[in-house]
Amino acid sequence: MSMACMAFGFATAQQILFGSGTVQKAGEQAAQLGRRALLVVGRSDGRAAVLTRPLTQAGVAWTIFNVAGEPDLAQVAKGADQARANGCDLVIGLGGGSALDAAKAIAALATNTDPVETYLEVISQARPLLQRPLPCIAIPTTAGTGSEVTRNAVLHCPRRRVKVSLRSPAMLPALALVDPQLTLGLPPSVTAATGADALTQLLEAFVSTRANPLTDALCRAGLPLAARALLRVFRNGSDLAARGDMSLASLFGGLALANAGLGAVHGIAGPLGGMISAPHGALCARLLPFVMAANVQALTRREPAAAALSRYAEAARLLTGSHRALPRDALAWLRHLMNALEIPFLSHWGLTPQALPELLAKARQASSMQANPIVLTDAELIALITDAMAG
């Protein structure tokens, strides 16, 4: 079937504002959505200063809720309680993917008051939200997750040692405000991990079984942006032009994954992040070359006429800038990039061979795995994870 004739849908935040200095519009934008805001930030309140004054000047009262690390079920339940106790009618997330996911979850749980487990995928029945969430403004301070334009929140369930999603179309933010200047202070390791996550999301969405013409356009624009900017900004964090390119690539990746899905990298990295303590982006970065190699090899052996093989070849050209590049060239390019970004192997974070059966079982249940361009066998998955553990 022609791509022009295929049926597809596309959903995103109600409004997207992008550009250096756009954070200055946060107060006036918030005032259009509510009068009392729960401001969800990371461990430190310091970064919130960029918002508190504009909010006060716009007549929006605010109270701060801190998220320490990746959000877990107890944290977002506590945040929802604080939002209700303070009469909040708006939630603003400011930070990396963890703060933004927490904000989206809190906005949903503030109006949907059953235990959070009720609404979760994998470990529960994923019951739909019955009440519309509070409006949410998502303001990223990293360039990686694209969470500002996605409809889910990834939450850690410590009791089950797994990360799962709270998901609903109603969780798309009312406003995604993307200001590259907010990423200028990121240390190189965070720049590398989050940027590699953005690159991974673009590549996985491009070869996904659910790709469509709109997500393809975003990936074709985003892949070369990330390819030329990521190493630059890792080496020079004050390069605003490169920061802007990475913020745009991250936004495009979020838009694409929300509508096309992801693949085996995230299908493994999500559950793995519930088992060990490691930055999500670093896990994705280290897995990416090995997953791509396994996918290309499996497609070549079992489905040599698959469209995904031509997608990988096109991605190779987009990443390397060479019109003659083949998937093997992209693999070499990715391996070099991850080494240059100083991405550790998985064993660095404590993954051991003894944990692989549990990881495999959990990865099989992950929603991201369902859009991988080919079903990888247990042996293929174990082999690629083993390679990513120690190279």
CA distance 135 to 137: 7
248 half-sphere exposure, CB direction, 13 A CA radius: 20
- Judged by DSSP in three states, 134 sits in coil
> What residues form DSSP beta bridges with 90?
37
Of 109, 110, 99, the closest CA to residue 139 belongs to 99
* C-beta separation of 312 from 372 below 8 A: no
Residue 44: other Cβ atoms inside 10 A? 10
Residue 133 DSSP symbol: P
- Judged by DSSP in three states, 33 sits in coil
Phi-psi region of 180 (alpha: psi -120 to 50; beta: other; left: phi over 0): alpha
Distances (CA, A) of 311 to 34, 67, 326, 362: 44, 38, 10, 28
CA distance 178 to 18: 5
231 half-sphere exposure, CB direction, 13 A CA radius: 14
Which tokens is 154 given? 């990834």
- What does the pLDDT profile of the chain (391 residues) look like in tens digits? 456 568 898 989 999 999 999 999 999 999 999 999 999 998 888 888 999 999 999 999 999 999 988 899 999 999 999 999 999 999 999 999 999 999 999 999 999 999 988 899 766 677 899 999 999 999 999 999 999 999 999 998 888 877 888 999 999 999 999 999 999 989 999 999 999 999 999 999 999 999 999 999 999 999 999 999 999 999 999 999 999 999 999 999 999 999 999 999 999 999 999 899 999 999 999 999 999 999 999 999 999 999 999 999 999 999 999 999 999 999 999 999 999 999 999 999 999 999 999 999 999 988 899 999 999 999 999 999 999 998 5
Of 171, 190, 386, 382, the closest CA to residue 258 belongs to 171
pTM of the predicted structure, to 2 decimals = 0.95
**Helix or strand (DSSP H, E) at 37:** strand 36-41
